[in-house]
Amino acid sequence: MTILIVYATNSGSTYLAGERIMKILHSGGHEVEMVEAKNARADQIKKFDLVVFGSPSWMIGGAESVPQEHMLTLLEQMRRARKAPARFAAYGCGEKSFTIFCGAVDYIDTVLKSLGSKKVLASLKIDGYYFHLLDNQKIVDKWAGELLCVI
Ligand SMILES: Cc1cc2nc3c(=O)[nH]c(=O)nc-3n(C[C@H](O)[C@H](O)[C@H](O)COP(=O)(O)O)c2cc1C
């Protein structure tokens, strides 16, 4: 299966989680690529059998818990072009101290589902990646292992 991990990040945690996911999916014999949202295009994304979206939750223009700006732009581009992968999964880094925890992941879900894309696994919401590093690495690895089982 060809898999693309599209991620956005401000301080690196969503990237680091994405790298772990990539390694695990690759170990399962899949062809996996990783691209930053600012370098991704809707027509490129559509070609993969599965796309894994990763974004931190942020505050943009007064809107709380939305995807990082490059992910927002990409999702908007996909919405306008009505182009989405057949299947997707989503993960995100956030912090439970914010009013809406990991809202970016729900935002991604809503956009992808509205474009007819099928979600293959419950989304992963990671709390304070760097603050609980070892635990979070295990959580990410477990989720990636589950993803491997359903694709
Ligand atoms: C300005 C700002 C707004 C944030 N808003 C939220 C939020 O609404 N919900 C949430 O769960 N986390 C929120 N966070 C926490 C980040 O999503 C979290 O630190 C995440 O790990 C950053 O990911 P990154 O390292 O990939 O950039 C916010 C952080 C900042 C600095």
Classified as helix, coil or strand, 137 is helix
Answering whether pTM is above 0.75, one says yes
Which structure tokens are listed for 75? 């999702």
pLDDT band at 41 (very low <50, low <70, confident <90, very high): very high
| Interval between CA 29 and ligand 1 midpoint (Å) | 33
Task: Report how far residue 13's alpha carbon sits from residue 7's, in angstroms, rounded to the nearest whole number.
Answer: 10
User: What is the 139 CA–ligand 1 centroid distance (Å)?
Assistant: 18
Domains of the chain and CATH, by start? 2-145 (3.40.50.360)
The closest alpha carbon to 151, from 13, 28, 59, belongs to 28
| 3-class state of residue 41 by DSSP | coil
Q: What is the pLDDT averaged over residues 38-66?
A: 94
